[in-house]
Amino acid sequence: MKRTITLLIVLFVAASSKLTAQQDAQFSQYMFNSLFYNPAVAGTDGFTNFTLIHRTQWTGFSTSFDGSGGNPTTQTLSASTPVDKLRGGVGFHIVNDNLGPQSNLEAQVSYAYYHQLSTGRLSIGVRAGIFGQSLDFDQYRWVQDGDPILDPPGGRRSGKESQVRPDLGLGVFYRSQKYYVGLSANHLIKSEFDFGNADQRSALEKNLTLTAGYDYQLNFNLTITPTLLVKSDFNSYSFDIGAIGTYNDKMWGGISFRQSDAAIIILGYSLLKDNSLKLGYSFDYIIQGQDAKQPTSHEFLLTYSMPVIKEPRKVIRTPRFRH
């Protein structure tokens, strides 16, 4: 199984070439936000989980025109739980991604089917939902008159316009006691946004995402987990690679590197007696392209896990035994 997973990773990377432009929301704490990338993850950890993330990218960034554009910000809320009657798990996530004059809003529902293997568990997932785009034409600047989108023959456009399209994704996820690997394909419908101009269509590009991690128990209290995230649009790819150290299942810290972009520090701590409430923080420092960006980004994470409520066993009474 390990050889198969290693070969999968090698082939995935080899099939791609260079860094691709960002289309979907970007997260530094991707290892704690797996449902966003892969529907097959829904409920696989055996708990009902709620996750909230707020990301402020390129803190202090503003447009060069009037300074009103602001830096990109992203918020996501997700939840998942196993469901015995469905032989799998269900989940949902909502993402609000603000990119200056453009903002994206998506809402997705996921289902994962579990299949138990001798070495671990394989899950197969599907997600369906909506993906919306909004354009604020008041934040755009014309380079020349007659722009087919911003300055059509009928007059210059102003205000905000929105379009909503259907979305679909598939995924597989394998988890053993020590490692996991997942592969997903998203935006399979390849929905298009035209904002009233059929000659200027913009499509959601199909993409593949690979996630992987390995739990290495250094000693009784400390576990080291190398992690990998690879994204590809079938023409190019980008990757994040890092390692997280978890001490006594209570606190964690680690480092990560995003290809041609940033070095990242990740910290976290578990609260409550059962460690069910977790707080996480990541700090990004841009190492390439600082001339066009601000050097730092910040990301805050909050998760809460609750045990799955199972139906009570039926009590059967006999003259001899009581169960």
Per-residue pLDDT of the chain (323 residues; tens, 9 = 90+): 444 344 344 434 433 333 334 579 999 999 999 999 999 999 999 999 999 999 999 888 776 566 566 789 999 999 999 999 999 999 999 999 998 888 999 999 999 999 999 999 999 999 999 999 998 877 777 676 666 666 666 666 777 889 999 999 999 999 999 999 999 999 999 888 887 776 667 888 999 999 999 999 999 999 999 999 999 988 888 999 999 999 999 999 999 999 989 999 999 999 998 999 999 999 999 998 777 788 899 999 999 999 655 555 555 554 544 44
- pTM of this prediction? 0.84
Show Cβ contacts of residue 77 under 8 Å, excluding neighbours closer than 6 positions: 50, 51, 52, 93, 94
Show Cβ contacts of residue 164 under 8 Å, excluding neighbours closer than 6 positions: 130, 131, 132
- Tell me what pLDDT residue 312 has: 55
Q: How far is 131 from 168, CA to CA, in rounded Å?
A: 10
Q: Residue 4, SS3?
A: helix
pLDDT in tens, 33-47: 999 999 999 999 999
Going from N- to C-terminal start, the domains of the chain cover: 2-240
The pLDDT mean for the chain works out to 85
Q: How far is 104 from 162, CA to CA, in rounded Å?
A: 9
Q: Specify whether the CB–CB gap between 101 and 140 falls below 8 A.
A: yes
Q: Are strands 207-214 and 179-186 parallel, antiparallel or unpaired?
A: antiparallel
- Tell me what pLDDT residue 5 has: 45
Radius of gyration of the chain (CA): 22
